[in-house]
Amino acid sequence: MHSGTDLPFFLKLCIPVCALCFISCSQGNEPSREGALARVYNSYLYASDIKDIVPVGTSGADSAVLVKKYINNWIREMLIVKKAEDNLGEEEKNVNKQLQDYRNSLIVYSYEKALVNQQLDTVVGNEEIEKYYNDNPSNFELKDNIIKVLYIKVSRKAPSLEKVKKWYKSDVEKDRASLDSYCHQFAENYYLDDNTWLLFDDLLKEIPIETYNKELFLKNNRYVEVQDSTSYYFLNIKGFKIKNSLSPLAFEKENIRNIILNKRKLSLITKMKNDVYDDALSSKKFETYYE
């Protein structure tokens, strides 16, 4: 029998990966030492048990390292298992029911997942989203302040800063195009999609604004220009919603879509379970023996 440090034996097994497949686990009641890589008490680890741990193409040296590490980990685990068995009572060691429950849960989960993948309708139309939004306004109370904004950060040494100060305030299409072109060339950071709602707190992480009352700041500021030692920051607040007010539909759209899909999924699974029960009941595939 070889110890966990007999590296030449590992090398012989590992250099061609397929060589790990030539010995199978003992199928009898008495474990066999033939072809065993390691033993812990009456448990044996065979080459066939580890045939898949070495990726194809791995060098002989790297294969040996992987195999040696696996065997040492197996030994440690089996020693702990034996220690636990020796120190637990018979009732504590009886894990058959837990294993059966776990197996049942895995099988049911796998079937439900396959059912959902095959049968769930994932198309959610705008009308359905809007209806859910209108029917459940209490579910869409804002927990944070949100804004629609144009945001530009540029170096203090960037060119044409006076033009930037004009463009970021303008709604003229030509000015917006000029600002977009400028940002691509010179901005350190920018956000020009003023149709999308953002969390105000996320923006504050990017801009050196200090305020003790965020709601008051939003209500009293439209155009904001601040600076630090290296950069200028330009902010055009196109719209805002204060926390605890009704969240806009556009901000909640993806969230509502996920809610609707989850409801469909639960409905599909519930229907499957009820159908299975009703079918078994009608065909007398089960019985109960209690009053």
Q: Where are the alpha helices (DSSP H) in the chain?
A: 7-14, 60-87, 90-93, 96-119, 126-135, 161-167, 173-186, 200-204, 214-220, 249-282
Q: Are 121 and 257 in contact (CB under 8 A)?
A: no
Q: What integer pLDDT is reported at residue 291 of this predicted model?
A: 60
- φ, ψ of residue 231 to 5 degrees: the values are -140, 155
Question: Distance between CA atoms of 1 and 29, rounded to whole angstroms?
Answer: 20
Question: Distance between CA atoms of 280 and 285, rounded to whole angstroms?
Answer: 5
Question: Distance between CA atoms of 241 and 148, rounded to whole angstroms?
Answer: 9
Q: Are 74 and 67 in contact (CB under 8 A)?
A: no
- CATH code of 142-241, in short, is 3.10.50
Low-confidence residues of the chain: pLDDT under 70: 1-31, 291
**Residue in the structure block whose two tokens are 């796998």:** 110
* Terminal-to-terminal C-alpha distance of the chain: 62
In the chain, ranges of CATH 3.10.50 domains: 142-241
Which secondary structure element, helix H or strand E, spans residue 40, and what is its range? Answer: strand 36-40
HSE-up of 29 (CA within 13 Å, CB side)? 0
36-40 and 146-155 as β-strands: parallel, antiparallel, unpaired?
Answer: unpaired
- 204 by Cβ neighbours in 10 Å (0-12 / 13-18 / 19+) ranks as middle
Q: Which residues contact 119 (CB under 8 A, 6 or more apart)?
A: 268
Q: Which two tokens stand for residue 144?
A: 């944070």
Q: What integer pLDDT is reported at residue 97 of this predicted model?
A: 85
Q: What integer pLDDT is reported at residue 252 of this predicted model?
A: 95
Q: What integer pLDDT is reported at residue 85 of this predicted model?
A: 85
HSE-up of 61 (CA within 13 Å, CB side)? 0
Q: Is the pTM of this model over 0.95?
A: no
Tens of pLDDT, residue by residue over 217-251, are 999 999 999 999 999 999 999 999 999 999 999 99
